[in-house]
Structure 1
Amino acid sequence: MADRVETESRKLLVRLRDAMASDLAGQARLDKITHLIADSMGCEVCSIYLFRDDDTLELCATEGLKPDAVHQTRMKLGEGLVGRVAKWRRVVNTPDAPSARGFRFMPETGEEIFSSFLGVPVQRLGEALGVLVVQSKQAREFSADEVYALEVVAMVLAEMTELGAFVGEGAAMSARHSQPVLIRGTVGQEGAAEGHVWLHEPRVVVTNPIADDPNREMERLTEAVDQLRVGVDKMLELAGSTDKEQTQVLEAYRMFANSKGWMRRMEEDISRGLSAEAAVEKEQSLARARMGQVSDSYLRERLSDLDDLSNRLLRILTGQGADTGAEMPPDPILVARNIGPAELLEYGRSLRGIVLEEGSVGSHAAIVARALAIPLVVHAGRITNEALNGDYIMVDGEQGLVHLRPDDTVSSAFRDKIAMLAAAQERYTSIRDKPAKTLCGSVISLQMNAGLMADLPSLAGSGAEGVGLFRTELQFLVRNKMPSRTELAALYARVLDAAQDKRVVFRTLDIGSDKVLPYMKPNDEPNPALGWRAIRVGLDKPGVMRMQLQALMRAANGRPLTVMFPFVAQFEEYRQARAEVDKTVAREARLGHVLPARIEVGAMLETPSLAYAPQKFFEEVEFLSIGGNDLKQFFFAADRENERVRRRYDTLNVSFLSFLEQIVARCAQTATPLSFCGEDAGRPVEALCLAAIGLRSLSMRPASIGPVKSLLRRSNLKDVRNVINDARDRGEMSVRPAVMEWLRTHG
């Protein structure tokens, strides 16, 4: 029976290929395909439903239902049996459709006379394109072989859709990769840029989904898999025994590459009539669909391994990939599913913008993008499926929008926005060397955040008075092994040289949570943001902390040094860290090294607990910096990586501002220098309110200093303070509306 079904499946695929090669227009081609499938499977009905938008399916072709229903019958995702197939991307196979759960009666189609229903998802690389359905009057459940055969046909339909087989006069759908697309993502780094797409991992397009000679395709697959296995073995040899974590990942790769089940499924696909490439992609699509439905992190990683192996195998089979000789455009916008910090640094400042399908606002890539001042949008769904190398693209990092192949109206408006941003930067240049002095006479110190040597030229150009935060973890994140003390000392010395006597606050290693070193064993914690991270790692691994402190002291070489410990939650943690500084000073003195002229030791206040530390803590600590990003998420119990909750809470919420005022007051009692560091410090309205409640030092990305300084110099903090107090007295939840109204009133 299986051999007969395989033969029938191959015959059907050959007929489909002939239909694809015909001169028929898109709609006529779809109509012919439904006829061929219904005839081949002995069914009265075959229908193709395609997505019109993210939530709507449309009947685009049918054999057996009423012709008038084509392009008229639509349903929402999850609605009816067809909608269920599309939503869950799972087969629905029932002998009695009208009584099946979720059935929706559509009288305009005339389908009520058909009892049996088999629907399979049409999907490509995890992207749902539609649903393929067959129905018959006879009440029967379709066999496993029939289900499998229809899945193979659905896969070919997906490839034909990708190749534009259904486009033309009377087309059922628009041409892929030719229409304007707007994708809404999340702001990773502000700014606006236009250019042309450069795919980090170029998509592999399968141009021959149907094969003539299954035996030859089996040979091609076997040869390619053998080549893949040799490549993985070579990677394992290069990793050696020193890099245990990398070796474990590659061992998982090798396990999948040698998986008999994976190979058997692809061989079955080929026996049905698919080419080797199409067989690989069919299994990859199924894996991606599963990946989107599992919550277990280990299983997702394993499915991701399989996805990566599939890409490698496709490149071997097709010869497509990064080594095809394609040239990066002069104005590249990098598009990727995700990217590591080292890979991003290799591109450097040549990039105009970055768009990631995954990623997060606190990821390594986001940190590097901010350091390089490159506009970044993350969570840009479907971008790697929609974009092709060379596509024109506009990235709006202010709103988290991506315009792919925009029309002239959008392009013109976007260019106006870029011109306005450039003009504003020109205005800020005129006040670059002037102090951030308010109308009431208060002077606010504006400093910049940094993490790379590439940031330091911005120190002079931005008008920053110093570096309020130098993130030392980036030098650890972009390497495959722990940097040496000598390497770190040389880097920190170059940072101090470039700062030209301006103060640089070095934050000690802040890893854990979303920043996991590639050569450290990851900890599978249920909530890593509240787990083993930052100062907790440093105190538990004192050797690393001492090595970094020694590197910093040697880099200072007689100059002043400022060190700040991250994520201090209680006084005792600061005392232990401070003791390590004192031990390192004593050891360096014994070794005869030149000591810093003076050492300032401070802490980041990122947890509410530290705001209530004993008075003795505020007397002992030499300075404090409020880490606004973490403090806000812990204050509101709202994960800043979770879009559902993070936007619900405002920095200018009365409760949060009142809490910050308490910190300002406690530091004032002990004359403890206090600054605010975080994204909100670089937003002019937020910065104005922070200054109004008493903060006199703000640290932000270099590009924000001009806008913040401009607003501060035109404002009276006493008036803003009165606006804040009045809003609080009225019981308002946030002072933002009142402050914005005051700003409008005062121009």
Structure 2
Amino acid sequence: MADGMETESRKLLGRLREEMASEAAGQERLDRITHLIADSMRCEVCSIYLFRDDETLELCATEGLAPEAVHQTRMRLGEGLVGRVAKFGKVVNAADAPSEKGFRYMPETGEERFSSFLGVPIQRLGQKLGVLVVQSRAQREFSADEVYALEVVAMVLAEMAELGAFVGEGAALSPLHQQSILLRGGPAQEGSAEGHVWLHEPRVVVTNPIADDPHRELERLNEAVEELRVGVDKMLEISRGGDTEQLQVLEAYRMFANSKGWMRRMEEDIARGLSAEAAVEKEQSQARARMSQVTDPYLRERLADLDDLSNRLLRILTGQGGSNGKELPPDPILVARNIGPGDLLEYGRSLKGVVLEEGSVGSHATIVARALAIPLVVHVGRITTEALNGDHILVDGDEGVVHLRPEDTVVSAFRDKMAMQAEAQKRYASIRETPTVTKDGERINLVMNAGLMADLPSLKTSGAEGVGLFRTELQFLIRNQMPKRSELVAQYKRVLDSADGKRVVFRTLDIGSDKVLPYMKHVAEPNPALGWRAIRVGLDKRGVMRMQLQALLRAADGRPLTVMFPFVAQADEYREARWEVNKTLEREKRLGHVLPETLEVGAMLETPSLAFAPQKFFDEVDFISIGGNDLKQFFFAADRENELVRRRYDTLNVSFLSLIERIVERCGISDTPLSFCGEDAGRPIEALCLAAMGIRTLSMRPASIGPVKSLLLRSNLQDVRKIIADARHRGEQSVRPAIMEYLRDNG
């Protein structure tokens, strides 16, 4: 950048800093800023557009366009050149704007006189705030130096917006982090919770985006980067002699920490007038913008490394470590972009709820949240940028809704709902010991899902008759290295001891898809849910399978043992796994170990293909458990992580119930015990219909047993089966409307 332009850039930033310190109201401050930017950039027009809502931009201030257009001119995201800048987060630099594709003429602004157009996004760490535009009459393309100068100014404007500098009239100038917000996501764990926000990775607030002593800022940056590098080197030193892949990740991390390009860009930002913190955050914002457009998982991971390094560097520069030095509130709702199972377990039952910006309904963090019985909502866009530590928050895990800084009327209605749920739980406690027998005399076995020792006390408190699914992968996922066989033996033994004679179905290691072991080489797959996972990994990594089988056999110590293989797609996969069980049994016998009193080996039916396996398979297998979550997504070809299609297909669809009926019939022919495991088993209406189709064992989260039992005790399965048959005969797509009408008619 030329010295003259550099000086002008610093001058402009200096004047902006004066504006930050002034007592001017939001609108007045914006008007003065547009004037000084136009003056400094020698342009006839400078305009600031801010978001009113997620989809609408509003002209909030202008120098050079018609003043009456302010707060009147609006455009949709993607509409016109301004909308294009906002949508894609990229600069638009046009010498002849009216001839540009997508140009939208707004007559009320009087902008037809201006040919050249330069628009840059106003954004902060992935949060889109608006667009900064300069225009001039002469047809010319703005130089790279001018573009850079305007980007720096836009970044400072984003910081000023974060600090509440533009609060004023109109929706676009409403106070940040003060208004009540309703955010929607996906329900991952049911339940309701009220509390206060605890940010897992609190945002660093940059209060000094502009500095007047570049040499001092460079010194601060160099000192902080040196501290960062020393920290990364220490992490590497601790990991020496450990897992090779973990070392490779840390080496890549160190490579970024020593990146000359990263350092050079930050030094240039400081030379133009930014503080060290603002320079780091500017580069971080650009890395996040690139990350949102990269599909390659390896590149996304590397950009995530850069993002994490930037966070560490900002904390060193500002001294804002931990959760901004605050103590965990008495009613914490954890808010994070994402979180691993280890971190979530560290928080433990102190949490009232969890809200994730990313996350997934099948992730291991979700499994931990279920084990801890805390409401969880995932895919909540903007939550980490909207929420501040200590904000009042309501989490509705049933609907996937989050109320941030709620109004009194919303709080009152939410508390009423929680009170009703608490009252219902008291009713369910009264039938805890009552056997689940329907009005027409059918006995239904209600068992629970588990994955942690923390789950097992629920065997007594929920009234569960056993554990229908114990997820063994969590012990592998929360570690940085493969657990030892002796550790697994001790873990499984504690599980059987806690069950106190009740049946526990141990599902063998179900990894792959969204459950990736940090110490096992990750295979990049275009569609992991349909890829190398569960029994497919087990049959390819037989050493791991044998170790787990040995641990289970030894933990049984002469007691009955039940083992189940996940994601069996064809009979031969089960036969190969069963052969491994028999071979391991023979070896344990030779070694003189006590063998289980009885051994059942079953399969999870999660793919439609297994429902059509030869009848001989149903004769061979000791039992079958329908894995409802996966079976449904593969049956309807609808990814359960995809909010666009996840809710489109109903479990009570006639065709899906027909598949369930076929599985029941085939198991009946071979006299093979059958259960249903998954979210739908814990939903009373779905559970009622599954029981009516002939399933006599339902496995669910402990909190669902009371509601499901309550409905089954009051229902006649023959009536429900007739309603399903009639709906199918009428050609209806789903039996839900007819079932709901039956339930209403019967109180």
User: Please, what TM-score do these two structures have when normalized by structure 1?
Assistant: 0.99
Code of the residue aligned with 1:274 in structure 2: it is: L
Cα shift readout 1:7-55 (whole Å, capped 9, x = no counterpart): 1000000001101111111110110000000000101110000000000
**What corresponds to 1:383 in structure 2?**
383
Partner of 1:622: 622
> What is aligned with 2:681?
681
Counterpart residue identity of residue 427, structure 1: R
Q: Answer whether contact 1:86 1:130 (CA < 8 A) is retained.
A: yes
Tell me which residue corresponds to 1:727.
Answer: 727
Query: Aligned with 1:645: secondary structure?
Result: coil
Q: How do residues 489-528 of structure 1 correspond to structure 2 at under 5 angstroms?
A: 489-528=489-528
Counterpart AA for 2:47:
S
Secondary structure of 1:666's aligned partner: helix
How many Å separate the matches in 1 of 2:175 and 2:640? Answer: 38
Change in 2 beyond 3 A, CA 1:324/1:410: closer
1:93 maps to amino acid: N
What's the CA shift for 1:593? 1.2
Q: Does 1:428 align with 2:438?
A: no
Offset at residue 325 of structure 1 (A)? 3.1
Deviation at 1:323, TM superposition (A): 6.7
Pairing 1:31-70 to 2, within 5 Å after superposition? 31-70=31-70
- Code of the residue aligned with 2:214 in structure 1: it is P
The separation in 1 between residues aligned to 2:385 and 2:47, in whole angstroms, is: 25
Report the counterpart of residue 211 of structure 2 in structure 1.
Answer: 211
Report the Cα distance in structure 1 between the residues aligned to 2:321 and 2:392, rounded to whole angstroms.
Answer: 20
Q: Is contact 1:203–1:321 with CA below 8 Å preserved after alignment? A: no
Q: Does 1:352 align with 2:338?
A: no
| Aligned residue in 2 for 1:444 | 444
**What amino acid is aligned across from residue 500 of structure 1 in structure 2?**
D
In the alignment, is the contact (CA less than 8 A) between 1:371 and 1:452 conserved in 2?
Answer: yes
Residues 166, 172 of structure 1: 8 Å contact kept? no
Residues 10-49 of structure 1: matches in 2 within 5 Å?
A: 10-49=10-49
Cα separation, 2, equivalents of 1:297 and 1:52: 33
- 337-346 or 229-238: bigger deviation: 229-238
Q: Tell me, in whole angstroms, the C-alpha distance in 1 between the residues paired with 2:77 and 2:171.
A: 23
Distance in 2, Cα, partners of 1:639 & 1:722: 31
Paired residues for 1:300-699 under 5 Å: 300-322=300-322, 324-699=324-699
Q: Which residue of structure 2 lines up, in the alignment, with residue 199 of structure 1? A: 199
Q: What are the residue-to-residue correspondences of 1:223-302 with 2, within 5 Å?
A: 223-302=223-302
Deviations, residues 448-499 of structure 1 (Å, cap 9, x unaligned):
0000000000001101000000000001101111111111111111111111
In 2, are the aligned partners of 1:27 and 1:172 still within 8 Å (CA)?
no
Residue 242 of structure 1, CA deviation: 2.5
Using the TM superposition, give the Cα deviation of residue 291 of structure 1 relative to its aligned residue in structure 2, in angstroms: 1.2
| Secondary structure of the structure 1 residue equivalent to 2:16 | helix
Q: Secondary structure in 2 aligned to 1:505?
A: strand
Aligned-residue offset at 1:639: 1.3
Alpha-carbon distance, 1:533 to partner: 1.0
Unaligned stretches of 5+ in structure 2? none
Q: Bigger shift: 175-184 or 461-470?
A: 175-184
Structure 1 distance, partners of 2:298, 2:206, is 30
**Aligned equivalents of 2:552 and 2:170: distance in 1?**
69
SS of match in other structure, 2:568: coil
Question: How far apart, CA to CA, are the structure 2 residues paired with 1:172 and 1:359?
Answer: 30
SS in 2 for 1:333: strand
CA pair 699-258 structure 1, distance change in 2 beyond 3 A: same
Which 5+ residue runs of structure 1 have no aligned equivalent?
none
CA contact (8 A) 2:46 2:64 kept: yes
Q: Is 1:187 the equivalent of 2:187?
A: yes
Deviations 1:306-352 (A, max 9, x none): 11111011011111020753100011000000000011001111100
> How far is the alpha carbon of 1:271 from its aligned partner?
0.8
Query: TM-score with structure 2 length normalisation?
Result: 0.99
2:298 and 2:535 mapped to 1: Cα distance?
A: 27
**Which deviations, in whole Å up to 9, do the C-alpha atoms of 1:635-666 show, x marking residues without a partner?**
11111111112211111111111011000000
Classify 1:170/1:659 alpha carbon distance in 2 versus 1 (closer, same or farther; 3 Å).
Answer: closer
For 2:633, the aligned partner's letter is Q
Aligned residues between the structures: 747
Is this contact kept in 1: 2:202–2:323, CA < 8 A?
A: no
Q: Is the partner of 1:567 in helix, strand or coil?
A: strand
Residue matched to 1:101 = 101
Alpha-carbon separation, structure 1, partners of 2:46 and 2:286: 23
SS at match of 2:46: strand
Give the Cα–Cα distance (whole angstroms) in 1 for the partners of residues 170 and 608 of structure 2. 63
2:222 corresponds to which residue?
222
Q: Is the 8 A contact 1:546 1:580 kept in 2?
A: yes
Give the whole-Å Cα distance in 2 for the aligned partners of 1:642 and 1:171.
Answer: 31
CA distance 1:272–1:380, shift in 2 (3 Å) = same
Alpha-carbon deviations, 1:214-245, whole Å to 9, x = none?
Answer: 01111111111111111111111111142112
Counterpart of 1:63 in structure 2: which amino acid? E
Separation in structure 2 between the aligned mates of residue 538 and residue 23 of structure 1, nearest angstrom: 66
Judged with a 3 Å threshold, the aligned counterparts in structure 2 of structure 1 residues 585 and 196 are, in CA distance, closer, same or farther, namely same
| 1:123 partner letter | Q
Per-residue deviation at 1:629? 0.7
Q: Answer yes or no: is the 8 Å Cα contact 1:25–1:169 preserved in 2.
A: no
- Aligned counterparts of 1:742 and 1:80: Cα–Cα separation in 2: 54
Report the Cα offset of residue 373 of structure 1. Answer: 0.8
The equivalent of 1:79 in structure 2 is: 79
Quote the Cα distance in structure 2 between the aligned partners of 1:324 and 1:663.
Answer: 55
The residue matched to 1:524 in structure 2 has which SS? coil
Tell me which amino acid in the other structure corresponds to 1:218.
Answer: L
- SS at 1:229 equivalent: helix
Q: Deviations over 1:367-396 (max 9, x none)?
A: 110111110000011111011111111100
* Amino acid of the structure 2 residue aligned with 1:341: P
3-state DSSP of counterpart to 1:475: helix
Letter of the aligned partner of 2:735 in structure 1? V
1:700 corresponding residue in structure 2: 700
Matched residue of 2:444: which SS?
strand
Q: Structure 1's 354 and 289: CA in aligned 2 closer, same or farther, altered over 3 A? A: same
How many Å separate the matches in 2 of 1:29 and 1:56? Answer: 22
State the SS of the aligned residue for 1:548.
helix
Distance, in Å, in 2 between the alignment partners of 1:630 and 1:538 is 18
Q: Separation in 2 of the partners of 1:406 and 1:289?
A: 30
Report the CA distance between 1:168 and its aligned residue.
4.7
Runs of 4+ in 1 over 3 A off after TM superposition: 168-172
